[in-house]
Amino acid sequence: MKHPASLRHGLLVLSLGLAALPVWADDDCDAPLNRWQTREAVRQMAATQGWQIQRLKIDDGCYEIRGTDAQGRTFKAKIDPETLKVLKMKRDDHQRARARHRDDEGAARQTRPPQPDGAAAPSPLLTPGTAPRGQID
């Protein structure tokens, strides 16, 4: 009969552990509202950093800014509402990835031999006037 008792003990420990999870899921900032700096102060701080704000909102008790930095990169920053200190910063390099993708396409286009107008690039599978060649496994 030891097995059912250990199972109950394990379930009790698991349920107590799960009950404690909301305590750890705390807000990132815990400053009382009367000590928060204004949204205008956040905008001024962003301007001194060279940031262009697209969105300013409150999330997890912190200010959250989405915008572009002085180099034109998009970012997301969590700001402490009392001190206006940057707590977290994520940079989004999608623009650089898109530029790299465009460069790759341009290089691929340059390596192909020029085709006369209306002519398709040669293909080992498809040749005009013949049945397609290929094997499906």
pLDDT band at 129 (very low <50, low <70, confident <90, very high): confident
Beta carbons of 91 and 75 less than 8 angstroms apart: yes
pLDDT band at 13 (very low <50, low <70, confident <90, very high): low
Is the model's pTM score more than 0.85? no
Domains (range + CATH), the chain: 25-105 (3.10.450.40)
Give first-to-last CA distance, the chain, whole Å.
Answer: 57
- Report CA torsion sign: 115, 117, 119, 121: positive
pLDDT band at 27 (very low <50, low <70, confident <90, very high): low
Mean of the pLDDT values across residues 54-73? 94
Beta carbons of 62 and 11 less than 8 angstroms apart: no
